[in-house]
């Protein structure tokens, strides 16, 4: 079936509807399991519900795109992509610094909701560090961004997929803002590397650091200051970044003057 019969808006709408449908199915499955096994702990129950939601979303998205002749998932990776992982982590840290003032203005009870939702222990690690990076990157970057980029170009595709990624983290407002910013970074890295593997790794490391912060401090760190530890270290990091930028500009001017001579 030719792709010309479908607009980017149609693809986005169908993929969003598939995600919504998968979410509703996951909620129903979670309710059934809760009734059938009333003593089941929250960890495996949350992991089960999440896995059902995104496995169905990924499979539904793949089926839709195959029916209309859509994009293919890019899973290859070369050694040249390895430095991009480090760059992605730096960009994720920078994004956290940018949104930090906004996050700090939001009520603290949102973080309590997030702590309760994620929980602790092996099931939480399996969900946030393994399942989420793989399934979410396949759906949001591989399917949504990859499809929209064919029609809208990379810039608007990254923005649209990031907006959808932020919405799926509702109603916890700090997490929505944080997810949107992280999705911008992941989208840029996916466009730059043309592979899902680097963004999955970046996503996994970012979630792992956030989970470690939650376990160590007893709170869910949604901003860079909490993940770094304190304002002194944070300001030192910012100062080093500014100095590095000045040194780079100075070196560029020096090379320019030598070239002129």
Measured in whole angstroms, how far is the alpha carbon of residue 94 from the centre of its chain?
Answer: 15
What does the buried/exposed string (b/e) look like for 129-152 if buried means 16 or more CB atoms within 10 Å of the residue's CB?
Answer: bebbbebbbbbbbbbbbbbbbebb
- The candidate with the shortest Cα–Cα distance to 222, out of 89, 49, 87, 106, is 106
Q: What is the mean pLDDT of residues 204-216?
A: 85
Q: Is 194 helix (H, G, I), strand (E, B) or coil?
A: coil
In this prediction the pTM is 0.79
Q: Which residues contact 225 (CB under 8 A, 6 or more apart)?
A: 97, 100, 231, 234
Least confident of 27-36, 90-99, 108-117, 119-128: 108-117
Q: What is the DSSP letter of 81?
A: G
Give tens-digit pLDDT for 56-67: 999 999 999 988
Model pLDDT for residues 101-140, shown as the tens digit of each residue: 887 777 765 556 556 666 667 888 899 999 999 999 999 9
């Amino acid at each position: 079936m030719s792709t010309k019969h479908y607009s980017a808006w149609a693809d986005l709408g169908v993929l969003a509807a598939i995600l919504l449908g998968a979410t509703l199915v996951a909620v129903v499955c979670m309710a059934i399991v809760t009734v059938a096994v009333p003593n089941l702990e929250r960890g495996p129950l949350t992991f089960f519900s999440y896995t059902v939601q995104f496995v169905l979303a990924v499979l539904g998205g793949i089926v839709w795109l195959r029916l209309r002749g859509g994009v293919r998932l890019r899973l290859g990776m070369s050694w040249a992509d390895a430095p991009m992982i480090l760059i992605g982590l730096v960009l994720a840290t920078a994004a956290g610094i940018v949104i930090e003032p906004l996050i700090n203005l939001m009520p603290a009870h949102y973080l309590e909701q997030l702590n309760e939702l994620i929980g602790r222990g092996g099931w939480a690690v399996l969900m946030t560090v393994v399942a989420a990076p793989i399934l979410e990157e396949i759906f949001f970057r591989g399917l949504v961004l990859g499809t929209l980029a064919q029609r809208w170009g990379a810039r608007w595709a990254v923005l649209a997929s990031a907006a959808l990624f932020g919405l799926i983290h509702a109603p916890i407002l700090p997490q929505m803002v944080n997810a949107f910013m992280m999705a911008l970074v992941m989208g840029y890295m996916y466009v730059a590397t043309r592979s899902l593997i680097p963004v999955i790794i970046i996503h996994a490391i970012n979630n792992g650091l956030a989970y470690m912060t939650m376990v160590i401090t007893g709170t869910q760190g949604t901003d860079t200051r909490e993940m770094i530890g304190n304002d002194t270290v944070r300001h030192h990091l910012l100062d080093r970044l500014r100095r590095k930028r000045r040194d780079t500009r100075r070196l560029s001017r020096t090379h320019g003057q030598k070239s002129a001579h």
